C-alpha cells in the first residue's frame, strides 16, 4: 500500500470477500445487511477502501436488490463465469447475465476452480476474454502450491501462470484488471504468508505487468493477497508497498471480522 505525499493512497485499497459455497440467498442478505450496518460505524475507513463481496450465483439478485434499495456502498461480483456468451452449455452462467445483475467484478481462475474443475490457464484466458466482452472487471487469481513453494520456485511458477492466463489480454483491457495472489498452501489452512512473502510476489507481479502492458498500467493495477486473512493479520500485509488489498475467504462470512479488516488503517496506527 503506497501512500502519496498528500496522504492519499496511490491505488485505492480493495477489501474483497469470497463467500465460496456458503450462505444461501436469505443468509446472504442478512450478511450484507450486517456488514453495511457495522461499516456505518466506521465511515472514515470505509470511505477510503472499496468493499466487494462475491456471493454464490443464487444470492446475487438479492444482494443487488439490497445494495440498490439501501444505496449501500458495497459492490459485488460472481465467483466464476462461462467462457461462452449463450447457448447449449447446461449449468453455465454467462457474463452477460452477471452484468445485467449489476456485478462489478468476477473472480477468474480461483485455485479451487483450477483444482476441482480442471481449469487450465487456457480456460482461464478464455474466461478473462468473456469478462471483458461483458464489461466486468476480472479479479484473476494466481498462486503456487506447497511443493512449488518448498522448491523455491514460487515466483517463476506464479509469473508463468500469470503470463499464460493473460494470453490475449490487451493493454487497454489490462487497465481494468485486479490480480489476487493466493498461495494454495495458505488457503483455508490458517497458515498465512508473511508480509514479506506477499510483497515479494506482488512486486514480481507488478514487474511482469510493467513488462507486458507498460509501467503506467502496472502502477495502477490493484494487487491483492489472499489466504487465511483475518483482522489480526490484514493490516501488516496491506502495509507492504505492492499489496493493495486482500481477498478474504472464511473471515468474510463474519460481518464483524470482515468489517474489522476494512478498518485496516486503524490497525496500522495501533498495532
Shortest Å distance, C-beta 229 to ligand 13P: 5
Give the number of residues in contact with ligand 13P, rule: CB under 6 A. 14
96 vs 228 by CB, closer to ligand 13P: 228
**Residues forming beta bridges with residue 53, ordered by sequence position:** 17, 76
Q: How far apart are CA 98 and CA 56, in angstroms?
A: 12
- CA nearest neighbour of 258 among 22, 9, 95, 2: 22
Catalytic residue among 112, 182, 240, 257: 182
What secondary structure letter does DSSP report for 109? Answer: S
188 is in an annotated binding site: yes
Residue 200 annotated to the active site: no
Say whether residue 247 binds ligand 13P (CB under 6 A). yes
Say whether residue 229 binds ligand 13P (CB under 6 A). yes
Between strands 137-142 and 75-78, the pairing is unpaired
Q: How far apart are CA 266 and CA 271, in angstroms?
A: 8
233 is in an annotated binding site: no
Which of 119, 144, 182, 244 touches ligand 13P by CB under 6 A? 182
Residue 182 annotated to the active site: yes
Looking at the chain, how many residues does it have? 271
Say whether residue 187 binds ligand 13P (CB under 6 A). yes
Which three cell numbers mark 205? 507481479
Segment 161 to 180, residues that bind ligand 13P, using CB under 6 A: none
Say whether residue 231 binds ligand 13P (CB under 6 A). no
Q: How far apart are CA 213 and CA 220, in angstroms?
A: 11
Residue 39's alpha-carbon distances to 50, 216, 238, in angstroms, are 12, 32, 19
In the shown chain, the binding pattern of residues 93 to 132 toward ligand 13P, with x for contact by CB under 6 A and - for none, equals -----------------x----------------------
Instruction: State the catalytic residues.
Output: 110, 182
**Under the rule (CB under 6 A), what is the footprint of ligand 13P?**
18, 110, 182, 187-188, 226-229, 247-251
Amino acid at each position: 500500500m503506497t501512500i502519496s505525499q498528500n496522504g492519499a493512497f496511490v491505488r485505492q485499497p480493495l477489501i474483497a470477500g469470497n463467500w465460496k459455497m456458503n450462505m444461501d440467498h436469505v443468509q446472504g442478505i442478512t450478511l450484507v445487511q450486517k456488514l453495511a450496518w457495522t461499516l456505518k460505524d466506521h465511515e472514515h475507513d470505509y470511505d477510503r477502501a472499496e468493499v466487494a463481496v462475491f456471493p454464490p450465483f443464487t444470492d446475487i439478485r438479492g444482494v443487488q436488490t439490497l445494495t440498490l434499495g439501501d444505496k449501500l456502498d458495497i459492490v459485488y461480483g460472481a465467483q466464476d463465469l462461462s467462457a461462452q456468451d449463450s447457448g447449449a452449455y447446461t449449468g453455465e452462467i454467462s457474463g452477460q447475465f452477471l452484468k445485467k445483475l449489476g456485478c462489478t467484478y468476477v473472480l477468474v481462475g480461483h485455485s479451487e476452480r483450477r483444482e476441482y474443475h480442471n481449469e487450465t490457464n487456457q480456460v482461464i484466458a478464455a474466461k478473462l476474454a468473456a469478462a471483458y466482452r461483458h464489461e466486468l472487471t476480472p479479479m484473476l487469481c494466481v498462486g503456487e502450491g506447497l511443493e512449488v513453494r518448498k522448491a523455491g520456485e514460487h515466483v517463476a511458477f506464479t509469473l508463468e501462470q500469470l503470463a499464460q492466463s493473460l494470453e490475449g489480454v490487451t493493454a487497454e483491457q489490462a487497465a481494468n484488471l485486479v490480480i489476487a495472489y493466493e498461495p494454495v498452501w495458505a488457503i483455508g489452512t490458517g497458515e498465512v504468508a508473511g508480509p514479506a512473502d506477499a510483497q515479494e510476489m506482488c512486486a514480481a507481479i507488478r514487474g511482469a505487468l510493467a513488462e507486458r502492458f507498460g509501467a503506467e498500467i502496472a502502477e495502477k493495477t490493484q494487487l491483492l493477497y489472499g489466504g487465511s486473512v483475518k483482522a489480526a493479520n490484514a493490516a501488516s500485509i496491506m502495509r507492504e508497498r505492492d499489496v493493495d488489498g486482500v481477498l478474504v475467504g472464511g473471515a468474510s462470512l463474519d460481518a464483524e471480522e470482515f468489517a474489522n479488516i476494512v478498518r485496516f488503517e486503524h490497525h496500522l496506527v495501533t498495532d
